[in-house]
Structure 1
Amino acid sequence: MTREADLYPPIKALFERQGYEVKGEVGAADVVARRGDEDPVIVELKLRFSLSLFHQAIARQAITDLVYIAVPKPKGKQARRMLKDNLSLCRRLGLGLITVLPDGRVEVQCDPGPYAPRKSKVRTQRLLREFDRLRGDPNSGGATRSGIVTAYRQDALACAEYLAEHGPSKGAAVALATGIARATTLMRDNHYGWFEKIALGVYQISEKGQRERLRWRAEASDAETNAMPEGSEPK
């Protein structure tokens, strides 16, 4: 579909099958459908999702609660994610969403209506656990994910620092000295490649671990310096 007008026939047919009278380009609306004395239905047509499309649809909610947006069904690797994200946005805004396939078939992804979000206790608890486990405030809001300091990374850095200072050590000794109960498991799993097992339960820091430890320490020092008020001196 190369024109918004290509979306009109299948959308018109959809509502006519439900007993609506349908007309295009009524006032500022792309499509208006009426059925008896019921509130009118408005559909905004676009060839792709965009912020302006949502702005238009929200403006139509001043006329009726029954507002849909209609777009060709996206295709490609990111299509499923794109559709899911925009469907979620439609639901939050109380908008309906219709997608049109190349053969003219339509799929009503959701109907207009009030949104009642369901909270995920699991996600809430996971977020709060990560918040509580983070030592200090090591990240600037909006930083790229590759440079994020997680609680897991902080624990790994603490283990690496201990091994760098004390040499090969038993996991239990590292756990006791650092206060990181999962130190042995963390070094055994070795997700970052920072540790080497040299005997049963005994680990040392790897060459990569040495490099990464120094790099993260330098970045933390730079971040602390940059966060200082102008004119202050590091202590």
Structure 2
Amino acid sequence: MLETDLYQPVKSFFENQGYTVKAEINDIDILAIKEDITIAIELKVKISLKLIYQVIERQKLVDNVFLAIPKNSYKSHRSSVKHFHLLLKRLNLGLLVIDENRVEIVFEPNHYDFNKSKSLNKRRKEKLLNTFNNLNSDPNKGGSRGKRMTVYKQNVIKIACLLADKPGLSPKDIIEETGVLNTQSILQKNFYGWFQKSSYARYLLTQKGLEEYKKYG
């Protein structure tokens, strides 16, 4: 499919809503005008960063900007469509999807409510700040991939260091000495296989725990 194949369906769509529509007006693929409302529509068969640059430029000249893409291109980005939608919405852009002669408005340009977005993600922010505040020093290297020090791993190491020095402690004893409030959960889940019970509610390090905790000493 070519960009020119998208033109007639989009032109007809806006004309049916009472707009006067013309193509290639000062580098804008389609310009639709009704009374004092101006809309720019950029036609593209593939999604790219260059396309985003173009539609942002159009916002300087008109009231609203739509991106129009064919349905097959839209479907090919299904795995990342949620993020694509979020990007366009944050930029106050609209999205049209064309399937042969049918035009679907996925969403219209609207002012993005950043406060609402932050409110909906309040718990995620709390988790972010909790991780920042509870992670000792700065143990990870920015931009790195693979294993990273987490608050959970850090707490496992704290418990392991204590049990290496004082084997046979209870969860209550460990909490009092380390301040790790989720000690009971860490010991029961034993994600890394470092801990074992020595008797009722008393814990020791496994051989694996004895060997591995030293790497972080």
Q: Does 1:106 align with 2:107?
A: no
Deviations along 1:40-73, one digit per CA (max 9) or x if unpaired, are 2111122232211111011111211211112234
Kept in 2, the 8 Å contact 1:184–1:201? The answer is: no
Inter-partner Cα distance in structure 1 for 2:144 and 2:128: 17
Q: Please list, as runs of the form range in 1=range in 2, the aligned pairs for 1:112-127 lying within 5 A after superposition.
A: 112-117=109-114, 118=116, 119-120=118-119, 121-127=122-128
Kept in 2, the 8 Å contact 1:68–1:111? The answer is: yes
The structural deviation recorded for 1:29 is 0.9
Q: Secondary structure at the match of 1:108?
A: strand
Find the counterpart in structure 2 of residue 60 from structure 1.
58
Q: Secondary structure at the match of 1:164?
A: helix
Find the counterpart in structure 1 of residue 14 from structure 2.
15
Gaps of 5+ in 2: none
Q: Please list, as runs of the form range in 1=range in 2, the aligned pairs for 1:25-174 lying within 5 A after superposition.
A: 25-35=24-34, 37-73=35-71, 74-75=74-75, 79-80=78-79, 82-101=80-99, 103-117=100-114, 118=116, 119-120=118-119, 121-144=122-145, 146-174=146-174
Kept in 2, the 8 Å contact 1:20–1:33? The answer is: yes
Inter-partner Cα distance in structure 2 for 1:212 and 1:71: 53
Inter-partner Cα distance in structure 1 for 2:188 and 2:129: 26
**In structure 2, what residue type is equivalent to 1:105?**
R
Runs (4 or more) in structure 1 with deviation over 4 Å come to none
Inter-partner Cα distance in structure 2 for 1:3 and 1:50: 16
Kept in 2, the 8 Å contact 1:47–1:71? The answer is: yes
Q: Which has the bigger relative contact order, CA under 8 A and spacing at least 6?
A: 2
Inter-partner Cα distance in structure 1 for 2:91 and 2:178: 48
The percent of aligned pairs where both chains have the same amino acid is 36
Inter-partner Cα distance in structure 2 for 1:4 and 1:99: 13
TM-score where L is the length of structure 1: 0.78
The Cα RMSD (Å) is 2.4
Inter-partner Cα distance in structure 2 for 1:7 and 1:162: 68
Find the counterpart in structure 1 of residue 176 from structure 2.
176
Q: How many corresponding residue pairs?
A: 211
- From the superposition, tell whether residues 100 and 167 of structure 1 become closer, same or farther in structure 2 (CA, over 3 Å): farther
Q: Secondary structure at the match of 1:100?
A: strand
